[in-house]
Structure 1
Amino acid sequence: MADKIKSFFQKKKANTKFMKAGKGYKLTDSTSTICSSTESREPIRRTEPTEEAKIAGQAALARLEAKKTDKPRFNTSYAAIQARVKRELELERKAQQNLQQTENTALKEKKDRIEDPSIFAVTDVYFRCPYLSDEILLRDEWKKKIKEFLYEQVKGEEAGLTACLIIQSCNTGKEKIESCVETLGKYLDNIINNPDVEKYWKIRMCNRIFQEKVLPIEGALDFLKAAGFEQKKLLHNENEEDFLVWNPNNCNIENLIILDEALKSAEPIPIELDRNLQVLMPSQARMRNELPSSFFTITPEEIKREQQLRSEAVERNQMLRTKAMREKDEQRALRRYKFAVLRIKFPDGIILQVFFSLVTPDGIKLIEECYDKTLLELRLIPTAILEFSWNTTDKENMPKGYLKEDVLSYIQAV
């Protein structure tokens, strides 16, 4: 097609030259006549093409150029498509690897920088358990120690009371514990209120409620055993199944009432936050200002509760709220902190650091009205520096020291 178009334009040019040559002559005419007539005739001027002709010519040239620079068609064969997909996936995989390496490097640098113990204000969160000993341990270490202690005691005379403490102290999930206690209470209440009805003496261990609410909870079977239940094989629907059967000789009604009350009133063995008292020099306070990750660690149950609070917050945002409601929401948001580290700076430059458990922004003076408020209400979380000062103008009689000698002994060498 391109050759035909070229040939067409060449013919057009040839015709134009031929027409410009003038009128034709016979071969018999004399040469002089031809020359004289040629010399006396003015050359014919070429007429300019119209605008439509120019546009048509430009369009034709553009189509010709497009034909020359036309890209090859995409290969639609399955093998070619597979190869292209493979190349693109490989490029994407390499990009992901590079991104992951960059993130890992950044995290490693942050970890190396933050986990340097010399920059921590506190090394960790420690607790005491006055019921067991004066040791200072981590929360998980205390849980393990309390569990070992209770399982040793469950073999003794107060097995039932100890089992109540195991249920409360050695399990996680408040709802699961409450559900177990409620179910065990119903077992005992049925016997206490109907001591002569033998159907209440039996607990079918394959029962769905027993399997879901009682069996998974540590201490539940120990409690039932202490309440006089024994495991036996009994016929049920012509099949032998495991049952727990109450034997009045093992535990009478009076003891059942005592265990029932103990079960419903029992609480976990408490552990108390250790104050972790420290006395710091100004240089140490400047250097040690980071908090370890354990300071902010929350349990799965707390995560679930946080998710529930967020769902409720979305619903609240869709309705108008009063000032009191907004303040309540603000207090709820602050409760995500469980601990606070306070530093009290004395005029002589010494800094007293103390750890608190949570139940004022800097620059606000703590007056007498603040004494009845919690650290949470004063917003002294998660860390704050309080400056101690005397409310007097008599500088001559102001003491030179502010801490007792036994407290100053906590100063650590730089």
Structure 2
Amino acid sequence: MKKFFEDMKKDLKFKSAGPGKKLTEDASSKPQVVQSSGPAKPCYAAPTEGAQKAGAAALARIEGQPRPRVQNSQDVIRLQVKRELEAEAAAVAEKEKTTAVEARNTLNQLTFLYCCSQRNYLCNDCHRLSFIASICNLLQGSNVKDLAFLSVTGVYFTCPLTGATLTKSERDVHIKEAIFMRFEEDAVEASIMMVHTFNKDREKVKAAVDIISKYIENICKNPTEEKYRKIKLSNKVFQEKVKTVEGSREFLEAMGFQSIMLDVEGHEESEEFLVLMEHNPESLEVMKESRDRLQRGEPVRAQLDRQPQAFRPSPNAMHFELPSEFYNLTAEELKREQKQKNEVVDKNAMLRTKAMREREEQRERRKYNYTLLRVRLPDGNILQGTFLAWDKVSVLFQFVRDSLVDGWQPFELVAPGGHKLQEDQEVALNECSLVPAVLLMFSWDAAVQADIAAGGGKSPALLKPELLENIQTLS
């Protein structure tokens, strides 16, 4: 039995010892670790083709990046010079951008001064010296030749009160100043001009005029009633209908109303009233007349200066370069318009109905505020003028008549394409496609031509001498 248990122990020891162990070796001893002569090399798997490409790309990016470099004093100087050159270039560009505007303003002021001299405003030596000094100051440093490439330097207007020639940006301010100066001569007329000119809402103007007319009517019907000669300024109707219209109070004061603080029953503080002192019958008649003038009043509007100009015969008669004032478009809209012109060929290839074509023509006409028209005369000379795009054809005929020596004789104007314009037709220039710039042909009526042929072919005088004195050559 003892031998059986010893055999069992040996068998367990043999199985637990593992390979390379002796049965007689102590189990508690640690196994010796066999070291290799070289360092252990880990075994890695080879990279895939995609990983190899990604690594190559990363390495290329790293090598392509510039290495930071410490700036020295020369680098700082070079950078400063670069900045100064860039600033100088920007300043030159800005100066070139404003040159055209400055030149245009110079021309406008010179034109105004010239008009003053022509109208004998320079009544003494001091005025003449001031006039000459103003011209010299304007000419110094101005660069008018930058506008030489334009067919016309701009759009100009004439003030009906002073006769001054103005640009579009100057006209409203100038007219306001002229109206204010009118108060010294006729306060009633000036205030009527204010009411109808300074307020754009015609409905509000009509409401205010009706209420003021009612004030005057009540006074004239009841001249002895004190209540009709008082206007309480805090009154709701006056506040909402009359006070909001510029010039209404000036008109009432021109009628004789005075501002007075009066006590009001039920109120601790006094309030402002416009009070008209008692008038005699003659003064009441003047008030009625002034009321009628107020009702008939019209806005003071600057008239378009057509800038008539004569040119010698030239092959450049159909070449036009117009300033931006002629177009009813912004800069962005002009760019978009240019882009759309490139699509005209494709659009013309499309089949369109008559209604579609008419709508497109209407949109085309609304693009322009003004039009520059030239008329080639039988002697080859060219007459030029500026018109509103919505002026009637009859206005064009009248302009030509006013420019001719024998403008009373019948003549014809032929538009491009051979279309003859009719003087009596009430059609706008843009409706006849005479925008934004067109060259027209002038010819005498058949009866006049027959008289010319009978007289030996000698044509009557055409342009007036004042136009021929300033005749120019188209560039």
TM-score tier by shorter-chain length is: 0.5 to 0.7
CA 385–366 in structure 1, closer or farther in 2 if over 3 Å, else same: same
1:374 aligns with 428
- For 2:288 and 2:382, the matched residues in 1 are separated by 55
Of residues 125, 138, 144 in structure 1, which corresponds to 2:155?
125
2:261 aligns with 233
Q: Is 1:185–1:260's contact at 8 Å kept on the other side of the alignment?
A: no
Q: Is 1:120–1:288's contact at 8 Å kept on the other side of the alignment?
A: no
- For 1:272 and 1:400, the matched residues in 2 are separated by 34
CA deviation after TM superposition for structure 1 residue 122, in Å: 2.8
> C-alpha deviations, 1:127-174, integer Å up to 9, x for none?
4466x57x45226466256325521223xxxx43442123224x2x41
**Stretch moving more, 194-203 or 224-233:** 194-203
- For 2:420 and 2:194, the matched residues in 1 are separated by 45
2:435 is matched by which residue type in structure 1? Answer: I
Residue 182 in structure 1 maps to residue 207 in structure 2: yes
1:266 aligns with 297
Q: Is 2:257–2:277's contact at 8 Å kept on the other side of the alignment?
A: yes
Residue 146 in structure 1 maps to residue 199 in structure 2: no
Q: Is 1:370–1:378's contact at 8 Å kept on the other side of the alignment?
A: no
1:365 aligns with 418
Count matched residues.
Answer: 306
- For 1:254 and 1:391, the matched residues in 2 are separated by 55
- For 1:295 and 1:12, the matched residues in 2 are separated by 84
Pairs within 5 Å for 1:40-189: 58=47, 109=96, 112=99, 116-128=146-158, 135=163, 137-138=165-166, 140=170, 143=175, 146-154=178-186, 159-169=187-197, 171=198, 173-175=199-201, 178-189=203-214
Residue 385 in structure 1 maps to residue 417 in structure 2: no
1:152 is matched by which residue type in structure 2? Answer: E
> C-alpha deviations, 1:271-319, integer Å up to 9, x for none?
4333322111245956984334555599xxxxxxxxxxxxxxxxxxxxx
- Tell me the SS of whatever aligns to 2:385: strand
- For 2:273 and 2:259, the matched residues in 1 are separated by 6
2:462 is matched by which residue type in structure 1? Answer: L
- For 1:276 and 1:221, the matched residues in 2 are separated by 39
CA 248–365 in structure 1, closer or farther in 2 if over 3 Å, else same: farther
CA deviation after TM superposition for structure 1 residue 382, in Å: 2.4
Residue 409 in structure 1 maps to residue 469 in structure 2: yes
- Specify which structure has the bigger relative contact order, considering alpha-carbon pairs within 8 angstroms and separated by 6 or more residues: 1
- For 1:348 and 1:379, the matched residues in 2 are separated by 26
> C-alpha deviations, 1:360-379, integer Å up to 9, x for none?
99732232557513312212
CA deviation after TM superposition for structure 1 residue 350, in Å: 2.1
> C-alpha deviations, 1:71-93, integer Å up to 9, x for none?
xxxxxxxxxxxxxxxxxxxxxxx
CA deviation after TM superposition for structure 1 residue 233, in Å: 0.7
CA deviation after TM superposition for structure 1 residue 241, in Å: 2.4
- For 1:107 and 1:386, the matched residues in 2 are separated by 39
2:252 is matched by which residue type in structure 1? Answer: L
1:118 is matched by which residue type in structure 2? Answer: A
CA deviation after TM superposition for structure 1 residue 223, in Å: 0.9
- For 2:42 and 2:158, the matched residues in 1 are separated by 109
2:117 aligns with none
Q: Is 1:228–1:250's contact at 8 Å kept on the other side of the alignment?
A: no
Q: Note the residue ranges of structure 1 that are not aligned, 5 or more in a row.
A: 1-6, 14-55, 71-97, 299-321
- For 1:102 and 1:213, the matched residues in 2 are separated by 56
- Tell me the SS of whatever aligns to 2:270: strand
TM-score by length of 2: 0.48
Of residues 291, 297, 300 in structure 1, which corresponds to 2:322?
291
Q: Is 1:118–1:288's contact at 8 Å kept on the other side of the alignment?
A: no
- For 2:358 and 2:370, the matched residues in 1 are separated by 21
CA deviation after TM superposition for structure 1 residue 246, in Å: 3.6
Q: Note the residue ranges of structure 2 that are not aligned, 5 or more in a row.
A: 1-37, 60-85, 104-145, 330-352, 394-413
Q: Is 1:285–1:351's contact at 8 Å kept on the other side of the alignment?
A: no
1:277 aligns with 308
- For 1:336 and 1:11, the matched residues in 2 are separated by 82
- For 2:356 and 2:218, the matched residues in 1 are separated by 46
Q: Is 1:119–1:287's contact at 8 Å kept on the other side of the alignment?
A: no
1:49 aligns with none
Q: Is 2:196–2:205's contact at 8 Å kept on the other side of the alignment?
A: no
- For 1:368 and 1:413, the matched residues in 2 are separated by 27
> C-alpha deviations, 1:221-261, integer Å up to 9, x for none?
22112334221112353222222134443786655544333
- For 1:290 and 1:208, the matched residues in 2 are separated by 55
Q: Is 1:280–1:352's contact at 8 Å kept on the other side of the alignment?
A: yes
Q: Is 1:279–1:408's contact at 8 Å kept on the other side of the alignment?
A: yes
- For 1:333 and 1:183, the matched residues in 2 are separated by 39
- For 2:278 and 2:326, the matched residues in 1 are separated by 51
- For 1:191 and 1:362, the matched residues in 2 are separated by 55
CA 346–188 in structure 1, closer or farther in 2 if over 3 Å, else same: closer
Instruction: Report sequence identity in percent.
Output: 32
- For 1:325 and 1:206, the matched residues in 2 are separated by 56
2:439 is matched by which residue type in structure 1? Answer: I
CA 364–8 in structure 1, closer or farther in 2 if over 3 Å, else same: farther
Q: CA RMSD in A?
A: 5.2
